[in-house]
Structure 1
C-alpha cells in the first residue's frame, strides 16, 4: 500500500453512523453474536457422550479426586490417598472438579464447563475486536473463531487450555480499553485476568503480558511516567495473584499436602519453572522429569505451522491474517503514537507472533496447542477482511488487497485439502469454485455498470463463504467420529479436528501401506486394547477382595496406569513416579517399606513411562521381590505388552 493511502480506511475504521443506524446495527450485531455463541455451544457439546470425546484419563482422575475432597481440590491431588499432586497448578481443573461435585462424575460433567467457556469466548472476542476495529470486524472475527477446527476440538477435551484462552481474551479486552482510555483500572483488570490465566496454564499465560506491556508503554494516551506506573502496578498485581497458590504450596509442610509431581525434591518452583518451563524449550529437565515426549506436532522450526499436522487445525486463514497485519502496519507507520487502530494491530499481531513462534520452536507440541493463538488469527483475519472490503471501492492501490486475500486464502485451502488424508473429495473443488466466483463478481462490479455495489457485496459474501468452508467442514467432521477402539485410542492420545484418519493411523502402526482389511482392523483393535491404559473390572474386583487393611488398592509404574482406576472407581492407587513414571517417589526402598507395613500388596507394571534410574530401581525390586499373578486369576487373557500384576505380600525387605 502506498504511503498516501488513508490510514483510517486501511486499518478498518468503521464509517460514521447516524444514531438510528447505530441502534439498529447494535441490535443486529447482538442477535448475530448471540446466534454464533449458541451455535458454538451446541457444536461443542454435540454427541459428546456417544463419540470419542478425548477425555484424558490423567486429568479425569485428578478431577474425580479433587471433587471428593476440598483439600485435594486446593492442592490438585491426583490420587484419593493424597500421595501425589498433578504436575501443574490446579486452577485449570477447578471448574471441572466443581462441575463433577455438583452433577456427579461423568464425561458430560467434565466437558460441560469446557464447552461453555469456549462458547463464551465468542462474544468476548467480538467485544474486544469491536472496541478496536468496529462491529463488522468483530462479527467477522467471531465467525472465524467459531469455524476454527482446533477451537472445536479443544472444547471437546478435558484439558485446562480452555480457561487460558478465555483469560487471554479477557486480558486483550481490558488492554484495549486501557489503550483507548488510558486508565489504570483497565490495566489492573488485565493483570488480574493474566494471573487467572497463570492458574490455568502457568507460564504459557505470561507470554502475552510482554506484548501487552510493550504496546501499552508505546501507544497508550497517558504521559510516559503514568504509562510506566500503570504497567508496573498491573504487573505487580498479576505477580501477587499468580504466586498466591505456589506460595501456599511452598510454605505448607510437605506432610500436610501431596508430593509435587514434576519435581525431584517436592518443590513447587521446580515444577513451575523447570518441568513446565525451561524443559519445554530446552533439554533442561532432570533425568526422567521432563514432560513426556510427544510424537505429534512435526519437526520444530519456522515452517512447523505450515505442515500437515497443524495447517488443517489452525492454518486456513493464517496467511490472510499475516498479510492483513503487514499491510495495516505498513499503512499506519505515520499514524500518531496513540492511534488506537494501529495499537490494536500491534496487540493482536504480537499475540499471534509470540505464541506462534513459541509453538513453532517448542521441543514437543500437540496439534491442539495451536489453540493458544487461534483468537489472534481470527481477529486479524476478520479485521483484515473487513478492511479489504472497505478498500475495494477506494483509490488505488487499496482495491488490490481484497483480491489478494481471496487468491491466497483459496490457493492455500486447496493445498491443505490436498495434503491431508480423508478430506471430502468435493471440498477442494468447492473452495476453488467459491474463490473463482467471488473474483468474477468483484471484477464485474468494477468494470460493468450492471449490478455495481450489490454485485460487489455478493462477491465479498461468496469469498467469505469460500474462506470459511474448509475450516467449517473440518470442524463439523470432528463431531462425527467413529466409536471404535481405534477411534477412542487416537482421540485420547492425539486430539485433532477433521475427518477421521484413524484407520490410516492404525495401518501405519501395523506397518501396512494400504487400507486395512476387516480382520486386520480387528487385530489392530486387539493390540490397542492391550496398549490403552484402561480400568479392568475383573482386575479391580480381584484386588478389592484382597485389599484387606492395605491403604492402597495397588501401586502402578506411573500415573498412566493408575489414572483409569482412579477415574472410574475412585480407588486409592499409588502412582509411582508420577505423570512420566520417572519421578523419584517412592524410591525402591520406600516401596519396600510400604509393602512391609502392609500399605501396599499389589503392583501393576507396564505402560510407557520414562525408563530412568528411579523407575528401573522400582521395577527391578518388584521383579525380584514379588511374584507375577496369572491374568486368568482375574478373568483376563495374557496379551503381549499388557500390564503385569505382581503380588508382594510376602516381601518384607529390598531384594528378597
Structure 2
C-alpha cells in the first residue's frame, strides 16, 4: 500500500512528525491504524505507545498475534527449526571442542565446588580464566545425562536457538514479523555466531545473554518500566559472570538509548538506569562476593589473576589487560608465545612437517612479542575486515552502516521517544562501540570474540531494512535501500573472492542478485505485487547468501581446540582450520564417538595426543587428590579428559599464574595429594606436556627443577613421568600417599 508522504517534514518516515508529543501513526498494510502486529504503535511512533491485546497467551503462542499475517508464525517456526539444524547438526563430531573448558565441565559434574567456582579440575586447584557462568548449564546437563560431547554441547546449541528467537522477538515488537525474521536470520547466519553457538567457549552463552538483555531493554523502553530495566541489569550481570567486561561493551548503547528515548521524565530515566545498575551489581556481585569472602585455602585459585581475586581477574587480565595489553595478555600478530622458539624447536625435532604448518598458521616463526593482535591480526580499524576475521562477522557491516546513517537522518526531526530512532540507536551503538573496542584491543584477541557484535548488526539490518522497505514508494527510501544492498553485495563478493576455489559460482549468484535487486529498487513500479516479492528475494540472496554458505560449511567441519574459526580456508588466513585441529592433535583428547578433539586445547598444551599408557597410569591412581601435576591448563585438561582423573595445572592457563608456589607444591607432595609429575626430563629435553603451558615467569620452571632434583623420571609413551611417592633420596619426601 502506498504510504502518504508527510508534507510537514523533510523526513521520509511516515510517522516522524515535526512537532507535537504524539505523532500521527500511519495505517499498516492490513488497514488497522497504528496496529503493527501486536497492537503496539507502528515504527516511528513514540516509545510506550500502544497496549498489549487481551486474549489467551497459549493461543497467541500457537497461532501468533491476532494482527499477524497467517504466514508469520510458520515462518518463525521454520527459522527456529533451521537454526536448530544448523547448530545441532553432527554436533558430536567436534568431540570435546575446546578441551580447556570441557575439562572444567567434567570437573563440575563431579564436584559442586568445582561447579560453583569454575574449577579446571575436580580437586579444585585452579579455575579457568573466566567466571563460571558459561560452564553451569553444560555441567548440569552432564550431571543429568552423563558427561559426553553431546550433553556438553547441546545446551550451547539450544541457547543459540533461543538467541535467534529472542532476536526475532526484540525487533518484531516494534517493527512487525518481517523485520523480526530478517534480524533473526541475520544473527543465525552470521558465521562466527553459528560457530560459537555450537561450541563450548563462553562466547556462545554471552551471545544469548546479550540478546536477552537487548530484548529486556526494548520492553523497558515501551513504558519506562523499572521492572524490565532491572531485568536488563540482571541479564548484563549474567553476561559479566560469563566473560567479565566484554559483557559490558553494550552498556554505552543501552544507557544512551534509554536516556534519550524512554517515555518518562529526565530524573525518572536517571534513577531507572541506576536501578538497572544495581541489578547488575546484585546479579554479578553475589559470585564475586562469594569468591572474596570464601577462605582462600578451601577454594581453588582464581585462574588468570595475580592475586587470587575475582576482581583482579575481571579488571586486570580480562579487563584493561585485554584492551591495553599486559596483565598476562600476549600481543603480536604472530602469536606472541613466551618461549615460543624453544617450544617450536622441540616440535621441530618431533615432527618437522607439522612445525612448518604451525608456523604458517601463526603467520611467522613464533616466539615474538609485539603490539597487539594476538590471533586476529594487528589492532586497527581494518582488523574486522581482514583475511582472518572478515568472513567471520563483517558481511553485513557496510550495509548496516548505510542503514544506520540513513535512519538517523530521516528521523532527525522525530519526537524524542520515536521508536525507529530508539531502535537504530540501540542496535547501531551496540555494533559500533563493540566493533571499535575489539578492533583496537591491544591484548589477547581471538576472531571468535566478534560474536558479540553479531546481535547489533542483526538488529540494525532488520530495523533499517524494514523501515526503508515499508516506505519504498518514496524515492529517497528506494535509493538508500539500493545503496545498502549494493554495498553488502560488493563486500560479499570481496569476501567470497578470498576463497576462489570454494564454490566459485556462489560469487556469481550473489553478484547477480545484488545487481538485480539494486536496479529494481530504483524503479517504483517494480516494488508492487509479485514483483516486490521477487525483488525482496533477490535482495535477501544478495545480503545473506554469502554468510549463509559460510555458516553452513561451519556446521559440517568438526571444530576443536582454542582457535576455532568459521567458514572454509581463507587465502592468507586461517579460516576453517578448526583452531589447528587439522594440524594434528596438539594436546588433543579422545573425543566422543572415537574422533579426536584436536587443536591446542585452551592454552597451548602438550605435543601429541594423550597416549593410552599414560592415561591408564593416571586412571590407576586411586586415593590421590590429583593423579598428576603438569605445567599449563591445556595439558592438564587433555590428561583429565583422557584419564577421567583430576590433574593439577601448574601456572594455570597462561603458565604464569603464581599457583602453586614451590612450598605449596612440596607440601602437597609430602602430604601424598599428588601422585605423578609430568614434565621435563632430567636430561633437559622438553616433555610434550611441558609445552606451551610452561612459560617463563611462572612457577613451572622452579617446580620442575625441584622435581628433577629429588625424583627419577620414567619415560611412558614418550613422556617424562615422575612418581612423587618414590623419591630418589629417602629424605626428600614424606609419606607416600594419603587419601583425601
TM range (shorter): 0.7 to 0.9
Superposed displacement of residue 549, structure 1:
5.2
The alpha-carbon distance between structure 1 residues 496 and 400, as it changes in their structure 2 partners (threshold 3 A), is same
1:503-561 per-residue CA deviation (whole Å, 9 max, x = no partner) reads 996999xxxxxxx9xxxxxxxx9x9899656432211223445x465442111011111
TM-score (norm 2): 0.77
Shift of 1:275: 1.6
Note if contact 1:164-1:201 (Cα within 8 Å) is conserved in structure 2.
yes
Distance in 2 of aligned mates of 1:243 and 1:97:
22
Q: Cα deviations across residues 621-647 of structure 1 (Å, max 9, x unaligned)?
A: 23433333223xxxx3x4xxxx53334
User: In the alignment, does 2:670 pair up with 1:591?
Assistant: no
**Superposed, which structure 2 residues align to 1:174-323 within 5 Å?**
174-285=216-327, 295-323=374-402
More helix by share: 1
2:83 pairs with one of 33, 40, 56: 40
| Selected match of 1:4 from 10, 16, 24 | 10
Contact 1:553 1:572 in 2 (8 A): yes
Q: Check whether the contact 1:9–1:390 (CA below 8 A) recurs between aligned residues.
A: no
1:562 partnered with 2:631: no
Provide closer, same or farther for how the CA distance between residues 477 and 54 of structure 1 changes in structure 2, counting only shifts above 3 A: farther
**Map of 2:534 onto structure 1:** 458
The one of 487, 491, 494 equivalent to 1:412 is: 491
Structure 1 position 59, deviation (Å): 0.6
- Residue 703 of structure 2 is aligned to residue 618 of structure 1: yes
Tell me the secondary structure at the aligned position of residue 91 of structure 2.
coil
Task: Could you tell me which runs of 5 or more consecutive residues in structure 1 were left unpaired when the two chains were aligned.
Answer: 509-515, 517-524
**In 2, are the aligned partners of 1:533 and 1:560 still within 8 Å (CA)?**
no
Unmatched runs of 5 consecutive residues or more in structure 2: 1-5, 18-24, 38-65, 338-372, 578-582, 584-595, 680-689, 734-740
Query: Is 1:537 aligned to 2:609, yes or no?
Result: no
Q: Secondary structure at the match of 1:630?
A: strand
Q: Is the 8 A contact 1:114 1:156 kept in 2?
A: yes
Does 1:468 find its partner at 2:548? no
State how far apart, in whole Å, the 1-side matches of 2:380 and 2:112 are.
Answer: 43
Relative to structure 1, the CA distance from residue 551 to residue 140 in structure 2 (aligned partners, 3 Å threshold; closer, same or farther) is: closer
2:336, 2:516 → 1: CA distance?
Answer: 48
Q: Distance in 1 between matches of 2:298 and 2:235?
A: 30
Once the two structures are superposed, residues 219-277 of structure 1 have per-residue CA deviations (whole angstroms, 9 ceiling, x without a partner) of 21111111111111221122122110110111111122112212223222212211211
- Change in CA separation of 1:548 and 1:198 when aligned onto 2, cut-off 3 Å: closer
Q: In the aligned structure 1, how far is the partner of 2:67 from the partner of 2:74?
A: 11
Counterparts in 2 of 1:292 and 1:135: CA distance versus 1, 3 Å: farther
For 1:650, the equivalent position in structure 2 comes to 727
SS of residue matched to 1:134: helix
User: TM-score, normalised on structure 1?
Assistant: 0.86
Contact 2:16/2:415 (8 A) holds in 1: no
What is the alpha-carbon distance in structure 2 between the residues aligned to residue 102 and residue 147 of structure 1? 31
Residue 102 of structure 1 is matched in structure 2 by 144
Q: CA deviation at 1:9?
A: 6.6
Aligned match for 2:470, one of 383, 387, 390: 390
CA contact (8 A) 1:53 1:157 kept: no
CA distance in 2, matches of 1:439, 1:91: 45
The 5 A counterparts of 1:497-516 are 497-500=566-569
Offset at residue 371 of structure 1 (A): 0.8
Alpha-carbon distance change, 210 to 550 in structure 1, aligned in 2, over 3 angstroms:
same
Between the two proteins, the alignment pairs up a number of residues equal to 617
Residues 389 and 460, structure 1, Cα contact 8 Å, conserved in 2: no
Alpha-carbon distance in 2 for matches of 1:590, 1:192: 39
Change (3 A) 1:654 1:414: farther
Greater relative contact order (Cα < 8 A, sep 6+):
1
